[in-house]
Amino acid sequence: MTDARRTALAFAEAQRARFLTEYQDFLRIPSISTDPAHATDIQAAAAWVANHLRTIGISHVEIIPTTRHPVVFGEWSGAGPAARTVLIYGHYDVQPADPLDLWTSDPFTPTLVGDYVHARGASDMKGQVTAVLNGIESALHAGGLPVNLKFLIEGEEEIGSPSMADFISNHRDLLASDFSLNADAGGLVEGIPAIGYALRGLTYYDLTVYGPERDLHSGGYGGVIHNPAQVLCDLVAGMHDASGRVTLPGFYDRVRPLSEEERAELARLPFGDEHFRQQAGVAELWGEAGFSAVERIGARPTLEVNGLLSGFTDEGSKTVLPAKAMAKISMRLVPDQDPREVRSQFLSYLAAHAPATVRWEAKELNAASAVITERSTAEVQALQAALQTVWGVAPVFTRGGGSVPIVADLKQILGIDSVLTGFSQPGDRIHSPNERQHLPNWSRGTDAIIHFLYNLLQ
């Protein structure tokens, strides 16, 4: 072990009490991004991050306004122009705390309960941000950091990062980096660290079927006019076959098969069907035949109905034959599906199956490709080794079922890959009352970041 690494780890160990005090200060700021009443707190949280970055030795720090909430940008270029640059991503905003009556302590008064600190944002993601910054502070203190650093700490993650794509587009040079570390993904299993290397893409449509020109009386027209709600149901029903596969023509043509190695890696996760069944509270699982639940979520494309609306939906009975019916339909995409091709497949399906008795319209709301980071890169290997060193167990490599807009934006606009990790645990109740962070894990996260940074030199 290098002297610098050893020094950094010892520094971190010696500073735990101060780190915790600072973390608690950060947690006291109710930086709820969705609530305009907390605009001042958003500013305060951004200022806290900016000030903290300056304190730990980041030479260039600025708070940059966006159309919504400000970004804290930072840059440390002490490794010199030849060194690679890691972009540290984080967010300082938090979810609302309600329902407040389910909290056992005030959500913005960090409270120690055994090995945990309870507070809104304790895990998501003020705990992750401080764990990473503490590791960087320790490494900077010890000297000899082998990479340059940039920081992009936003205040809109919990509201879907609405202004981040524009922000990144408008600051390409400022943000130019080789790689992004995103600690906003928690561990999936207690005691086993995780590295997320793939996220699914997303296409999202409003599909509307138009029938008669106005709502009709079902007694006067039922059985004569093709009911658009019925047609919509027919169309949706036909989008899956009996084996759970999506029937859009060509939908699976470009799906990258899972390698045996990846399947083996995913199989290490202790998430059998029973886990998902219990989490969702259902009697049985469902899905594409031939794949495990973890494989279906991470590596197989899916099609979901996210919403249905037609006709009369209040209490009671109204005998309307609706003029239109709407479904929100999204597809999760995997490498190497192209959202433009999937759009064509969706439209082809509709054109082939919609009857001539109705009109239909499909409005595309989102279209993002899946992202996948090669696991053989130096950064992924450095993180893998760091996590293994600290936890004493090989991290699991996971493929996320969802999309993370910032990861897609960084890939699409700046061309840089992200790797996702985090030091929270499945039971940390993110977005729920009594959110918490396991403090020994939080400290392990700091140590892992130190190892990660020095591993990059090897």
Query: Contacts with a second copy in 40-99 (CB under 8 A)?
Result: none
Residue 223 Cβ vs a second copy, minimum distance, rounded to whole Å: 3
Residue 234 Cβ vs a second copy, minimum distance, rounded to whole Å: 5
| Part of the chain binding a second copy (CB under 8 A), chosen from 9-17, 106-114, 249-257, 297-305 | 297-305
Pairing, β 359-368 against β 201-210: antiparallel
Nearer to a second copy, 302 or 441 (CB): 302
Instruction: State the Cα–Cα distance between residues 423 and 126, nearest whole angstrom.
Output: 11
Would you give the DSSP letter of residue 447?
A: H
Nearer to a second copy, 40 or 357 (CB): 357
- The DSSP string of 230-247 is HHHHHHHHTTB-TTS-B-
Pairing, β 371-372 against β 359-368: unpaired
Q: CA of 438: how far to CAs of 130, 192, 423, in Å?
A: 13, 14, 8
List the interface residues with a second copy, window 299-328 (CB under 8 A): 300, 302-313, 316-322, 325-328
Nearer to a second copy, 65 or 307 (CB): 307
Number of residues that bind a second copy (CB under 8 A): 81
Residue 228 Cβ vs a second copy, minimum distance, rounded to whole Å: 9
Whether the Cβ atoms of residue 347 and residue 217 lie closer than 8 Å to each other? no
Residue 207 Cβ vs a second copy, minimum distance, rounded to whole Å: 11
> Of the candidates 238, 254, 268, 362, which one interacts with a second copy according to CB under 8 A?
238
List the interface residues with a second copy, window 275-294 (CB under 8 A): 276, 279-288, 293
Residue 88 Cβ vs a second copy, minimum distance, rounded to whole Å: 24
Nearer to a second copy, 321 or 380 (CB): 321
Residue 343 Cβ vs a second copy, minimum distance, rounded to whole Å: 14
Would you give the DSSP letter of residue 94?
A: B
List the interface residues with a second copy, window 131-190 (CB under 8 A): none
Residue 324 Cβ vs a second copy, minimum distance, rounded to whole Å: 11
| Part of the chain binding a second copy (CB under 8 A), chosen from 40-48, 102-110, 238-246, 336-344 | 238-246
Instruction: State the Cα–Cα distance between residues 141 and 150, nearest whole angstrom.
Output: 17
> Of the candidates 80, 260, 356, 374, which one interacts with a second copy according to CB under 8 A?
356
Q: What are the phi and psi torsion angles at 379 (to 5°)?
A: -70, -40
Lay out the site mask for a second copy across 389-428 (x = CB under 8 A, - = otherwise): -----------xxxx-------------------------
User: What tokens appear for 371 in the block?
Assistant: 């992202």
Instruction: State the Cα–Cα distance between residues 435 and 29, nearest whole angstrom.
Output: 15
Instruction: State the Cα–Cα distance between residues 133 and 52, nearest whole angstrom.
Output: 9
List the interface residues with a second copy, window 325-344 (CB under 8 A): 325-328, 330, 332
Rg of the Cα atoms in the chain: 24
- On the question of a cis peptide bond just before residue 125, with omega within 30 degrees of 0, the verdict is yes
Nearer to a second copy, 11 or 221 (CB): 221
List the interface residues with a second copy, window 205-234 (CB under 8 A): 211-214, 216-227, 229-230, 232-234
Nearer to a second copy, 150 or 399 (CB): 399
For residue 252, how many other CB atoms are within 10 A of its CB? 15
Residue 206 Cβ vs a second copy, minimum distance, rounded to whole Å: 8
Nearer to a second copy, 160 or 191 (CB): 160
Residue 266 Cβ vs a second copy, minimum distance, rounded to whole Å: 13
Nearer to a second copy, 142 or 368 (CB): 368
One-letter amino acid of 173: D
Pairing, β 179-182 against β 418-420: parallel
Nearer to a second copy, 178 or 295 (CB): 295
H or E element at residue 201 = strand 201-210
Residue 300 Cβ vs a second copy, minimum distance, rounded to whole Å: 6
Nearer to a second copy, 58 or 329 (CB): 329
Q: Which residues contact 209 (CB under 8 A, 6 or more apart)?
A: 228, 229, 231, 232, 235, 324, 325, 326, 354, 358, 359, 360
Would you give the DSSP letter of residue 431?
A: T
Q: How far is CA 48 from the centre of its chain?
A: 24
List the interface residues with a second copy, window 369-388 (CB under 8 A): none
Nearer to a second copy, 18 or 318 (CB): 318
Token pair 């008669």: residue: 212
Residue 286 Cβ vs a second copy, minimum distance, rounded to whole Å: 4
Residue 125 Cβ vs a second copy, minimum distance, rounded to whole Å: 17
With 0-12 CB in 10 A as exposed, 13-18 as middle and 19+ as buried, what is 118?
buried
SS3 41: helix
User: What tokens appear for 94 in the block?
Assistant: 């938090």
